[in-house]
Amino acid sequence: MLKSMFEKSGLCLRSFLAAVITVLQVSGIVAATSAEIKEIRTENFENKVRVIVELEDEIEFTFFTLSEPNRIVLDLKNASSRIDFGKLQAIKPVKRLRSALRENGSFRIVLDVNGDVVASRAFGAESRGGDFDLIVDIPKGKAILETDFSVTESKRDVVVAISAGHGGNDPGGIGYDGKLQEKNITLNIARELYDYLTILPGFSPVMIRDDDVYVKLQRRSQIAREHRSDLFVAIHTDWYKNRSANGLTIYALSGDRADRENARRVAEKENSSDLIGGIGNDIQLDAWDDDVALTLVSLQMSWSMEQSLEAGTHILDSVDAITRLRRDKVQQASLEVLKSPDIPSILIEAGYLTNPEEARKLNSRSFQKSLAAGIGRGIRSYFYDKPPQGSFVAWQKKNGVLPSSYLVRRGDSLSLIAERFGFSISDIKTANKLKSNVIRIGQVLSLPVIGLPKLEHTVSGGETLSQIAQSYGVSLGLLREKNELQTDRIMVGQILYIPKS
């Protein structure tokens, strides 16, 4: 009945589920106090500009981005300011800052920005003086992928939200030595995963926190939602009283927690600001009675849980050759950070800090990089299997462009890999210069690229020639030869031609 109702209205069920619930309203007369903005300052980093709004007290705020012209908007509830925004100094890509008092009493701050604003983020943290900082991070830019194919075809990036566990005054688990802190290990792994996904064409990672700050659990999924994320990945480490416990575990939301969350959302459907449905048309759930609203939320949550399990399975397959798996299947648990009905969400317990050997490994930069790359390959594999509509990854799959590499795991053979990706054994052997069919667990195989149109890559800051070659699955020598390079030196803004494997 519900399906036919949507068909008659001309809407698909998936589009309808892309909805928002109305803004939280408090009934009755409430005396509101106004938090004064004490200072606004900008800080310049290598890859981002940070705008810090320092307030007397913690406040509620809403963050969103707009395009044409590009701008970032902050609505601060019960805030006031005597600052002359016209005199504030801006750092590129921020052009200027301005403000306005809205009819609903909120204080609006607008950042006019040159360049893309999609990867921007906002979060709250304790200020240097113990008050409250509202922090906005604006990236300085990323590499542009250009093709001579159908420029009118939609090719949006897949957005992956990366949440490093704990932070700030919450250290998380403490290592066997009493010194290692979970918050530092998780941030390092999260940064490595961010770097891995950044160089993949068609992916835009978002860091929930990129510093030693604490972000509330409810706010983490909200940040992911504001960026219209396609996947939420929380990075944690584990602990146990027995020092021998070891291994990686991946969690998705449990059915019991999902049922409770669905009921809560419906009970508060007139009061909630949560989105359901992710990307799509926004409508209000309170337009429907409780039974229909519960059906809609339950359908969306079921989809999210199903995709969470699939994404986690792809990642387990990918990291199996890198570290021991405590469980070889995705586990389900009642975890607050995983309860989004519109974003597939997983939590990765990377290993045990209470195990001396595993803790030393987790604290190693080389292992952090290797594990993050394995997680990244699993994410890429999941999205190639289930590419979001209108994404560059969906365009790749449609045009026969396969993932550029594959990590060999237990039970693999060259013939199985060739069959899985639709190649001949000789294709893979040629691409990897193999003289025999022998492969080993943990070996990274380059996959031949088929159906690939002519590609051009514009070099951005921080990129190296080897990173670019790896991201496109071509050899460094072939990339040099195609672009007539005598050395590996490249310049920002330089256009590189990407050859077919």
CATH number at residue 94: 2.60.40.3500
Does residue 349 contact residue 234 with C-beta atoms inside 8 Å? Answer: no
User: How big is the CA angle at 215 (ends 350 and 366), to the nearest 5 degrees?
Assistant: 30
Q: Are residues 281 and 165 in the same domain?
A: yes
> For residue 422, what pLDDT band results from cuts at 50, 70 and 90?
low
Predicted pLDDT of residue 64: 81
- Output the domain CATH number for residue 470: 3.10.350.10
- Output the domain CATH number for residue 6: 3.40.630.40
Mean pLDDT across the chain = 76
Q: Give whichever of 42-46, 60-64, 182-186, 443-447 has the largest mean pLDDT.
A: 182-186
Three-class SS of residue 124? strand
Among candidate residues 369, 393, 1, 477, the one with its CA nearest the CA of residue 203? 393
Neighbours of 440 (CB within 10 A): 8
> For residue 423, what pLDDT band results from cuts at 50, 70 and 90?
low
Return the minimum-mean-pLDDT range out of 160-164, 166-170, 419-423: 419-423
> For residue 68, what pLDDT band results from cuts at 50, 70 and 90?
low
Q: Are residues 172 and 188 in the same domain?
A: yes
Q: Which of 371, 390, 409 is the last residue of a domain?
A: 390
Whether 22 shows a pLDDT value over 50: the answer reads no
Is pLDDT larger for residue 345 or for residue 299?
345
- 96/235 Cα distance (integer angstroms): 35
What residues have CB less than 8 Å from 26, skipping those under 6 apart? none
Q: Are residues 115 and 135 in the same domain?
A: yes
**What order of strands is seen across the sheet that includes strand 495-498?**
144-147, 455-458, 495-498
- 347/340 Cα distance (integer angstroms): 13
Q: Are residues 162 and 129 in the same domain?
A: no
Does residue 54 contact residue 96 with C-beta atoms inside 8 Å? Answer: no
User: How big is the CA angle at 158 (ends 220 and 349), to the nearest 5 degrees?
Assistant: 45
Kindly state the average pLDDT of the residues 147-152: 32
Within-domain flag for 149: no
Q: Are residues 231 and 349 in the same domain?
A: yes
- 297/2 Cα distance (integer angstroms): 13
Q: Are residues 252 and 313 in the same domain?
A: yes
Q: Are residues 364 and 468 in the same domain?
A: no
Question: How is residue 228 written in tokens?
Answer: 């219209």
- 75/78 Cα distance (integer angstroms): 10
- 338/396 Cα distance (integer angstroms): 29
Distance of CA 402 to the CA centre of its chain: 22
Q: Are residues 133 and 61 in the same domain?
A: yes
Within-domain flag for 146: no
> For residue 455, what pLDDT band results from cuts at 50, 70 and 90?
low
Within-domain flag for 147: no
Within-domain flag for 24: yes
Return the minimum-mean-pLDDT range out of 12-16, 156-160, 257-261, 442-446: 12-16
Among candidate residues 154, 138, 18, 161, the one with its CA nearest the CA of residue 70? 138
Within-domain flag for 307: yes
Q: Are residues 121 and 231 in the same domain?
A: no
Neighbours of 194 (CB within 10 A): 18
Give phi and psi for 123, each to the nearest 5.
-155, 160
Kindly state the average pLDDT of the residues 114-127: 75
Within-domain flag for 421: yes
Predicted pLDDT of residue 273: 39
Does residue 349 contact residue 437 with C-beta atoms inside 8 Å? Answer: no
Range of the domain at 454: 399-498
Predicted pLDDT of residue 282: 41
Predicted pLDDT of residue 313: 94
- 387/155 Cα distance (integer angstroms): 11
Predicted pLDDT of residue 274: 43
DSSP secondary structure string for all residues of 406-469: EE--TT--HHHHHHHHT--HHHHHHHHT-SSS---TTPEEEPPP-SPPPEEEE--TT--HHHHH
Return the minimum-mean-pLDDT range out of 236-240, 246-250, 366-370, 395-399: 395-399
Q: What's the number of domains the chain is made of? A: 3
Q: Which residues of 4-18 are buried (b: 16+ CB within 10 A; e: fewer)?
A: eeeeeeeeeebebbb
Q: Which of 141, 171, 197 is the last residue of a domain?
A: 141
CA end-to-end distance (rounded Å), the chain: 51
Three-class SS of residue 290? helix
Whether 281 shows a pLDDT value over 90: the answer reads no
Is pLDDT larger for residue 260 or for residue 388?
388
> For residue 418, what pLDDT band results from cuts at 50, 70 and 90?
confident
Kindly state the average pLDDT of the residues 110-137: 78
Q: Are residues 440 and 350 in the same domain?
A: no
List beta partners, residue 391.
156
Kindly state the average pLDDT of the residues 53-58: 86
Q: Are residues 245 and 357 in the same domain?
A: yes
Q: Are residues 236 and 379 in the same domain?
A: yes
Is pLDDT larger for residue 186 or for residue 415?
186
**What order of strands is seen across the sheet that includes strand 249-253?**
203-207, 158-164, 231-238, 345-352, 249-253, 331-333
Q: Is the pTM of this model over 0.85?
A: no
Within-domain flag for 224: yes
Is pLDDT larger for residue 359 or for residue 120?
359
Q: Which of 351, 366, 390 is the last residue of a domain?
A: 390
Give phi and psi for 387, each to the nearest 5.
-70, 135
Whether 399 shows a pLDDT value over 80: the answer reads no
Predicted pLDDT of residue 19: 39
Question: How is residue 39 written in tokens?
Answer: 């200072």
Predicted pLDDT of residue 256: 59
Within-domain flag for 65: yes
Whether 285 shows a pLDDT value over 70: the answer reads no
User: How big is the CA angle at 207 (ends 205 and 211), to the nearest 5 degrees?
Assistant: 150
